[in-house]
Amino acid sequence: MKFEHVNARTINEAVAVLASGNASVVAGGTDIVGVMRFGIFRDEMYPKTLVNLKTITPSLEYIREEGGVLKIGALTRLQDIARNATIKTKYTALSGAAQRTGSPHIREMGTIGGNICQFNRCWYFRKEDNRFDCIRKGGRICYASVGDNRYHSIFGNVSGCLAVNPSDTAPALVALEAKIVTSKRTIDAERFWAVKVPHSTVLDSDEIITQIQIPSLAAGIKSAFIKFALRTSIDFPIVNCAAAIGSGHARICLNAVYNLPYRVTKAEDSIKDKAIDIASADAAAEAGVQGATPLPYRPAVQSVGAASPAPPYGSWKIQVAKTMVKRAILQCA
């Protein structure tokens, strides 16, 4: 696959190249390189130009606090976020999310901006050579709706797509009330994600993230992040959850359960102004999964001697989501 590679010197130069059409950005490259290598899209969907953001001056890789706001450059690597002492102490959910993203090698290359802008991980969407021209690629079918959907959305769909948002840092940013600063505007994190062909954010084609801003938490509020994955050292989440709770305040966000990061407002209402203990966390977790619906996929092989078919995988995922909410709440005690 042939493409032009441009080293942008400024944000304006990067935006100008993107505005010329059929271009995409590259920084750590942990997502876009794989997308292009394995040919998951139709030929006409691939960028003819990759705009390198790492050469922009001044650098978009930094972590600093100014005026009670944590400011993180879009190209800051996940490992640097995970290791930063200020983030560990004051923005614990984000530190934990960055630490649980991918493998050490991925965290050393991948950026916070890339992590929140990555394409979805649905196996039909990602199948090489575009073997499944699904709805998120401009096709007419969500293959997961009639196929293997064991890890797909338990809270319905947007525009017919059942793929979930795979980011680990996304729920932490929502729980911490972050703002995403771009070359055009400032966006509340909760409104940053969307379902488009083929992208997963509200960004325009000529728009890039420049900074992430997180306000300091008020006294008495603690935050936490927890994740369930099959291979804990590398896998994308089956379910993850971030919470920020205390002093009459509660924000809890699940991810990998819906097309977008999913705030569990019923769980927030349940735990707000209550002492955190096993009983209150259980009640909030139960409230958090109200409305969840298991998808119908079942194991291909039943247990020997089973009296009835095994429950659908989606039932198991709902239980995992409930447990993640409970544990995130308890970590904020």
pLDDT at 184 over 70: yes
Does the pLDDT at position 307 exceed 80?
no
Label residue 95 by pLDDT band (50, 70, 90).
very high
pTM: 0.96
In this structure, of 75-84, 213-222, 242-251, 306-315, the range with the lowest mean pLDDT score is 306-315
311-328 pLDDT per residue, tens? 888 899 999 999 999 999
Q: Where are the domains of the chain?
A: 4-297+310-331
pLDDT band at 56 (very low <50, low <70, confident <90, very high): very high
Report the pLDDT value the prediction gives residue 313, as an integer from 0 to 100. 80
* Cis peptide leading into residue 296 (ω within 30°): no
Q: What is the DSSP string of 172-240?
A: HHHHTT-EEEESS-EEEGGGSB---SS-SBS--TT--EEEEEEEPPPTT-EEEEEEE-SSTTTPPPSEE
Q: Are 125 and 35 spatial neighbours (Cβ–Cβ below 8 Å)?
A: no
Give me the residue label for tokens 């920020």.
Answer: 244
Banded model confidence at residue 301, pLDDT cuts 50, 70, 90: low
**pLDDT (average), residues 148-172:** 97
Backbone angles phi, psi at 275, to 5 degrees: -65, 140
Question: For 235-250, what is the mean pLDDT?
Answer: 96
User: Is it the case that residue 199 has pLDDT exceeding 90?
Assistant: yes
* CATH 3.40.50.300 is held by the domain 4-297+310-331: no
